[in-house]
Amino acid sequence: MKPAPFAYRDPDTVDEVLALLAEHGDDAKLLAGGQSLGPMLNMRVVSPAVVVDLNRVKALAGRGGSASGGFVIGALVRQADLEDDPAFAAAQPLAAAALPFIAHRPIRNRGTVAGSLVHADPAAEWGGVVLALDARIEVRQAGGASPRTVAAEDFFTGILETAVEPDELLAEIRLPPWPEDARWGFREFARRRGDFALAGVACRFEVDGAGGGRSVRIGLFGVGDTAVRARRAEAVLEGETPGPEVFAAAAAAVQDEVEPLDDGHASAGYRRHLAGVLVEDALADAWARNGGDEGEAA
């Protein structure tokens, strides 16, 4: 299991990366953490003529709060960088809660958020997270065209397929400012710790002045070709007073709307069942986490 020969380029700047992509197009593969590309090269699932290593491009390694109060994650930011960053946990509690579920520490030491998104494994945690957070993804292309921004909900286009074209670079991920008092939950079920989840959910909602759910986002992963928003379940909670009955109704809606895959790890039926259970639990976690309805009870 050794990779086929390839030419190796390790540019220092984004412009050089884009120029190499323009020159080699489909024959080139970008290398970020290598935690998905490495196995694919070793197994010769892919054999690019040129590997363009992003790891020396300092401009892609930045992370931190943006002027608007959001959080920007550069393409070279590794999962472990965020895991160890208290500022990230404070600014983005939902995403921070998902990190320890992603593979194992040695994988997170190399693997990047951008690489996870572009690889687009349907069971990757980041898929559910960016959907729940309405993240925006900046993509740059070769040839001097101006960068374009893709909304998380338009990002995943198919199994292992995204809106990022082969000659494009995902430059950064922008998480919008965390809404004050937003409630969030994250749940997944995997056979063993660190395995890809059989199903999982990242959710967030706010509560409006009348006590109803608002801006409800439920991002599912592991239950279809791509990460998806559970739109019917979101609608169940939108405007309704959160509580066990509404959460159960949302769970039923999820089980109705998902189209999970049957594979060697789990049947579609089991995944459908799991999706409902996890959504119900994650919504309940979200509600409990910020004190639930204690405001009213007091």
Ligand X SMILES: Cc1cc2nc3c(=O)[nH]c(=O)nc-3n(C[C@H](O)[C@H](O)[C@H](O)COP(=O)(O)OP(=O)(O)OC[C@H]3O[C@@H](n4cnc5c(N)ncnc54)[C@H](O)[C@@H]3O)c2cc1C
Listing from the earlier edge strand, what are the strands of the sheet with 28-31?
A: 7-9, 50-53, 28-31
Residue 34 binds to another protein (criterion: CB under 8 A): yes
Q: For the CB of residue 239, give the shortest distance to ligand X in the complex, in Å.
A: 33
Instruction: Read off the tokens for 234.
Output: 């979101």
Q: Which of 11, 14, 55, 240 binds another protein (CB under 8 A)?
A: 55
Q: Residue 27 binds what, of ligand X, another protein, none (CB under 5 to 8 Å, by partner type)?
A: another protein
For residue 115, report the phi and psi dihedrals to the nearest 5 degrees.
-65, -40
Q: For the CB of residue 288, give the shortest distance to ligand X in the complex, in Å.
A: 26
H or E, element range at 73: strand 71-74
Q: For the CB of residue 244, give the shortest distance to ligand X in the complex, in Å.
A: 30
d(CA 59, CA 67): 18
Residue 46 binds to another protein (criterion: CB under 8 A): no
Number of residues that bind another protein (CB under 8 A): 35
Q: For the CB of residue 115, give the shortest distance to ligand X in the complex, in Å.
A: 2
In 128-233, DSSP assigns E strands to: 136-141, 148-151, 156-158, 161-162, 168-175, 183-189, 199-207, 213-221, 228-229
Task: Name 228's bridge partners.
Answer: 220
Q: Residue 7 binds what, of ligand X, another protein, none (CB under 5 to 8 Å, by partner type)?
A: another protein
H or E, element range at 20: helix 14-24
Q: For the CB of residue 155, give the shortest distance to ligand X in the complex, in Å.
A: 12
Residue 244 binds to another protein (criterion: CB under 8 A): no
d(CA 71, CA 192): 31
Q: Which of 12, 25, 26, 43 binds another protein (CB under 8 A)?
A: 43
Residue 277 binds to another protein (criterion: CB under 8 A): no
Q: Which residues of the shown chain bind another protein in the complex (CB under 8 A)? A: 1-8, 10, 24, 27, 34-35, 38-39, 41-43, 49-51, 53, 55, 80, 100, 103-107, 109-110, 192-194
